[in-house]
A = this chain, B = another copy of it.
Amino acid sequence: MSRWIQEGDNVDITNERKKGTFDTERLSAWIHGGTDVLKRRREILEFVKSVDDFKDPVPIEFLSREERILNNARKVVAMTDNTDQIDGSDFFGEGMYYQALTMGRDLHAMSLHYVMFIPTLQGQTDDEQLDEWLTKAISRAVVGTYAQTELGHGTNLSKLETTATYDPATEEFVLNSPTITAAKWWPGGLGKSSNYAVVVAQLYTKGECKGPHPFIVQLREDDTHLPLKGIRLGDIGPKLGINGNDNGFLLFDKVRIPRKHLLMRYAKVKPDGTYVAPAHSKLGYGTMVFVRSIMIKDQSTQLAAAATIATRYASVRRQGEITPGKGEVQILDYQTQQFRVFPQLARAFAFMAAATEIRDLYMTVTEQLTHGNTELLAELHVLSSGLKSVVSWDTAQGIEQCRLACGGHGYSQASCFPEIYGYAVGGCTYEGENLVMLLQVARFLMRAAEEVRKGTAKLADIGAYIGRTGAKSSRLTTHHHYTDAQLVEDLEHAARKQVFRAYDRLKKAQQHLNPEDAWNSVSVELAKASRWHVRVYLVKNFLHKVSLAPQDLKFVLVDVARLYAYDIITSSIGAFLEDGYMTSNQMNEIKEGIYECLAKIRPNAVSLVDSWDYDDKELKSVLGRRDGNVYPALLEWAQNSQLNKAEVLPSHTKYLGPMMKDARSKL
């Protein structure tokens, strides 16, 4: 019997759990990486629940921004006071879970301190600097952020406008914001919380610009926390999400910092102003791959949360009769509801599988690099950029589908969907805007296509399909006999075709346009090729992972994986029919396959989402509660409303009341 069943639970949700045909605990272990990991998750959960400083006074959606900032500051100090409770080396696992439980989806004053400030210090300082600054940062003697993006520039770093001009007379850099568009804009925790930042500025020495470089800059005084002379900064205002964070702006008016505040692991400036160029000009791909693999894990966690809420709610919500007189049915019984929600559930599984895989790949590549083997590196970098883009977009879409599937109550913040969406959809933009990322992936694909045409291609596994000839038509007979290998072949065919479609159009455009205009004129096709490349990987990886699952889990995961793949195929039918690769009968088989997957997933739906192992504390959704007792909880939740603090509001006393009284007197 499912460990998720407890006395007093909603009867419908309990029945769903009883109906499940696999052991949720075993699937949880499979998802999270073993029973030991599950055990640790529960220890961390118990710890977090036991600490008073982690408790919110009311659900945070009822707090003002000022209150949220204050609440988060208390929690983040408590969180970092207690890092001994987790295995700090396992950020991807224990670290992310611990942070999700304590801080939720609001970010906090020290988010960038840990994700950007410390890693930058580790990567960009020379030994002497590392000693000084890393000690301060890790001990929390300073709180730092990473100030790169400006009001006028995000994507195109080379055009950042903040300047750092070296003055050999005093051995200082002078930081300046020559225009309004040079204002640093967006860095998390910059507005009010941080007192230090790594600031990226154009380095000028001996009258020459040497491009953007990182500097460590004190922003606020140690004791008073007031901004230092020449520094103007503050909060950038409310956003779609993460309003418990003080994303900030920052302007410099000729602020002097010591020469040694240039982070000098790579480039250096000597006391006399001589610039020493870095030996390696490239940024470490490794860190970027790591950050993106964290993002993919994070995104999949948000989509899974949304699918959990929608699935559980659909199992307790009864509305409408399918057969008159037989009573209202659980809305999960409507095919349209399944068609909305289950593909999101399937995506979440696929994305989780990709997140784990890319973390492992990252480790493999890191290991290879120590032996000087860089073969996989570029491809992996490309894949992680593409995954970030496809996963964040599909996640955002999927969350909204889940929300809409919950009808009116999905629109209430009680559902938590607005918070989940606001948080997750940011991933489409930060850490590389999605379309820009896809076009980077396309650079790689076009090189690969070129090499394939020339017969010189050496493609690692991820892109090997580009070089294969492939069959002329799909081997699909009926969906019951459709093998994983055939399915992957078909997807690879579609991807390859789009890669070469884009390539041929590019070549043609280059005949009458300069290379850059030609590139721009086919960029929609290029982005499409990149999406296919990533989706092939996602399906392939998921099918492979499922094929290795133990038999008592595999039988249910197979339907989830097939639904994921079929959904991709039927969303792009043209790609398979255009060149006669598939017949419409074959396509109909796949459509039938979807309906069969929906029906087969239906009885296990609640157990599948239970297996993700969300505690109510992490989910934070009245609709998605474990116990299914949604309606009393909604009523209770609403009592927290700011408007319910007084029975009669000033809006009545001052405006509506007098208006009505006046009218009554005239009746």
Contact = CB atoms under 8 A, between A and B. Distances in A.
Interface stretch (A367-375, A538-546, A658-666): A658-666
Interface size class of A (residues with CB under 8 A): 35 or more
Contacts of A516: 321-324
Interface string A568-583: 0010111101110000
Contact of A643 (B246, B642, B649, B660): B246
A286 B335 CA distance: 31
Contact of A573 (B223, B425, B577): B577
A234 B411 contact: no
A238 B109 contact: no
A37 interface: no
Interface stretch (A190-198, A204-212, A269-277, A476-484): A190-198
Contact of A240 (B185, B237, B418): B418
A522 B632 CA distance: 35
B429 A408 contact: yes
A65 interface: yes
B428 A235 contact: no
A642 B63 CA distance: 13
Contact of A62 (B193, B238, B514, B638): B238
Interface stretch (A85-93, A146-154, A306-314, A379-387): A146-154
Contact of A404 (B141, B429, B587): B429
A122 interface: no
Nearest to A519: B322
Interface string A445-480: 000000000000000000000000000000000000
A339 to B, nearest CB: 5
B643 A149 contact: no
A651 B70 contact: yes
Contacts of A340: 435
Contact of A647 (B180, B226, B430): B226
Taking the full assembly, how many copies of this chain does it contain? 2
Interface string A217-237: 000001111110000001111
Interface stretch (A94-102, A132-140, A290-298): A132-140
B73 A652 contact: yes
A333 interface: yes
Contact of A336 (B80, B439, B637): B439
A328 B159 contact: yes
Given A408-B430, A574-B574, A635-B249, A418 B66 contact: no
Contacts of A234: 638-639, 641, 643-644
B193 A652 contact: yes
Nearest to A599: B521
A656 interface: yes
A278 interface: no
21 contacts: A62-B237, A62-B238, A65-B642, A66-B649, A73-B652, A109-B651, A139-B663, A156-B319, A193-B656, A222-B664, A237-B637, A237-B640, A238-B641, A239-B412, A240-B418, A249-B635, A322-B516, A322-B520, A334-B520, A407-B433, A574-B574
Given A193-B652, A238-B413, A521-B595, 14 more contacts: A109-B651, A135-B667, A140-B660, A151-B634, A222-B660, A226-B647, A236-B412, A246-B643, A335-B523, A335-B524, A336-B527, A339-B524, A408-B429, A574-B577
